[in-house]
Amino acid sequence: MIDSDIAVVMGTRPEMIKLAHIIRQLGERARVIHTGQHFDDELSEKVRLGLRLPEADVVLTGVGGETRATQVASCLSALTQEFTRSRPKAVIVQGDTNTVAAGAMAANFAGIPLLHVEAGLRSYDRGMPEEINRLLTGVLADVHCAATDQNRRNLILEGIDNSRIVVTGNPIVEATLDSLSLLAAAPPLSIPEEPFVLATIHRPENTDSKAALERVLSALATLPLPVLFVAHPRTKNAMRRYGLEHYAKSLWMIDSIQHHEFLGYAQASALLISDSGGLQEECTVLKVPLLVVRRSTERPESSEVGFSVLVGPGEDITATARGLLATPNTLQNVSSPYGDGTASTRIAALAKLIADGYSPAAAIAQMTSTFPLFGASQQATEPDTWEWA
């Protein structure tokens, strides 16, 4: 075995959160590369320490704060150089960020096997930059680690061979449970005694126009419960830019906090309101209803089992929120559609097998013989020998 022969490429805090368990499972075989897409020294360091992760082995520069095109181009160039300097035997990317798109291309161009964690999510909304990143990575990945059977079916409909897909569950389940355990051992949070709503908004569709942002803020300001508003830097800047800072007087507004602290407030809340993708998964572990303020979602599983409600443009946020608050929370006994908390173990085992030269089908067959699958059964149809192009 060669130490650090599996490159784990990440660039945002959500990626750090979902990849943390996988990195720990890989141990010395992991080479962590941070692209700097959302690299804030202080906040990223807090997240890293909270997740008990080692420092990244490689940190790229000149990426954060740039346009989408510049981010992808810079990441692709730097990752290509890094893979040439020290060639890994497998590359792992997670999700749908610009980092993922660049990592997928860099691995493919170098002929290195690529594992895509959280593969097969589809919103069918090409106006979302993330959807383009998902589609691109779906074409280039060698092993697709789908969180749900619906994700697997999405990939098959796009022509991906089932032998390259495995339903692992989503690492967010164990990440959320781990954060809640960390919270239990930390100093208590200043959680309000009365019921409250927790809200966070940051996506471009809700912050890149005054009308869109004011729609959300005005709805939050008129809810029957106090609203704890965790303000993303992008959202705070937009509020200043559009002259909407007066809405802060109607909200309990705080700056971004550590992930485990956010989950603590979320678990104690009566309702969540957000445009976050990850929170659509986390709410299924927290057992708290979520109102999703977006025009589309790539995570329908959450709403299908009753955890979330999508409220698109033109729909009444306030009325929907009031309806959810008036409905007793019956989610405590509803299982998360995203798995049983062992996705990271499966994914790390797969990555090791791929790095050791197994074909996708053989790696999936070997892994599933050791770790029972979450979701649909898989059929390995490819030969055990494999040559990477």
pLDDT tier, 82 (very low <50, low <70, confident <90, very high otherwise) = very high
Report the C-alpha gap between 301 and 298 in whole angstroms. 9
Query: What rounded mean pLDDT belongs to the chain?
Result: 91
Report the C-alpha gap between 69 and 36 in whole angstroms. 15
Q: Which residue has the higher pLDDT, 1 or 14?
A: 14
Amino acid 262 reads F
CB 166 within 8 A of CB 144: yes
Any idea which residues carry the catalytic annotation? 202
pLDDT tier, 13 (very low <50, low <70, confident <90, very high otherwise) = confident
For residues 300-327, average pLDDT: 95
Q: Which of 268, 296, 326 is the last residue of a domain?
A: 326
* % pLDDT > 90, the chain: 77
Q: Which residue has the higher pLDDT, 43 or 82?
A: 82
Same domain, 118 and 209: no
Kindly list the distances between the CA atom of residue 336 and the CA atoms of 253, 277, 378, in Å, as whole numbers in the listed order: 30, 15, 21
Q: Which of 214, 206, 254 is nearest to 230 (CA)?
A: 254
**Pairing relation of β-strands 165-167 and 143-146?**
parallel
The neighbour count for residue 296, using CB atoms within 10 Å, is: 16
pLDDT tier, 140 (very low <50, low <70, confident <90, very high otherwise) = very high
For residues 198-208, average pLDDT: 95
User: Is residue 380 domain-resident?
Assistant: no
Report the C-alpha gap between 147 and 150 in whole angstroms. 8
pLDDT tier, 382 (very low <50, low <70, confident <90, very high otherwise) = very low
Same domain, 271 and 248: yes
CB 227 within 8 A of CB 253: no
What residue has token string 């990555």? Answer: 351
**pLDDT for residue 48 is more than 80:** no
User: Is residue 282 domain-resident?
Assistant: yes
Q: What is the pTM of this model?
A: 0.90
Same domain, 26 and 134: yes
Report the C-alpha gap between 106 and 167 in whole angstroms. 25
User: Is residue 378 domain-resident?
Assistant: no
User: Is residue 253 domain-resident?
Assistant: yes
pLDDT number for residue 258: 83
Q: Which of 293, 326, 359 is the last residue of a domain?
A: 326
Amino acid 104 reads A
User: Is residue 292 domain-resident?
Assistant: yes
User: Is residue 375 domain-resident?
Assistant: no
pLDDT number for residue 1: 47
Average the pLDDT over each of 53-67, 320-334, 354-368 and give the range with the smallest value.
53-67
CB 278 within 8 A of CB 299: no
Report the C-alpha gap between 52 and 68 in whole angstroms. 30
> What residues contact residue 383 under an 8 Å CB cut-off, 6+ apart?
359, 361, 362
Same domain, 139 and 253: no
Angle at 134 between CA 211 and CA 79, to 5 degrees: 110
Same domain, 279 and 185: yes
The neighbour count for residue 221, using CB atoms within 10 Å, is: 16
Same domain, 39 and 118: yes
Same domain, 278 and 354: no
Same domain, 182 and 96: no
pLDDT number for residue 383: 34
pLDDT number for residue 329: 87
Ordered DSSP codes for 163-224:
GGEEE---THHHHHHHHHHHHHTSPPP---SS--EEEE---HHHHSSHHHHHHHHHHHHT-S
The pLDDT tens digits for 282-302 are: 999 999 999 999 999 999 999
What residue has token string 């290509």? Answer: 80
In DSSP terms, 227 is beta-bridged to: 197
For residues 151-163, average pLDDT: 97
pLDDT number for residue 184: 81
User: Is residue 56 domain-resident?
Assistant: yes
Same domain, 250 and 319: yes
CB 347 within 8 A of CB 374: no
The pLDDT tens digits for 236-266 are: 999 999 999 999 999 999 988 888 899 999 9
- What total number of domains does the chain contain? 2
Q: Note down the domain range covering 89.
A: 6-170+339-370
Q: Which of 271, 295, 326 is the last residue of a domain?
A: 326
pLDDT number for residue 47: 74
User: Is residue 317 domain-resident?
Assistant: yes
206 φ/ψ angles, rounded to the nearest 5 degrees: -105, -5
CATH code: domain of residue 28? 3.40.50.2000
For residues 82-108, average pLDDT: 98
**pLDDT for residue 96 is more than 80:** yes
CB 343 within 8 A of CB 173: yes
Same domain, 199 and 139: no
CB 38 within 8 A of CB 13: yes
Same domain, 145 and 58: yes
Same domain, 190 and 258: yes
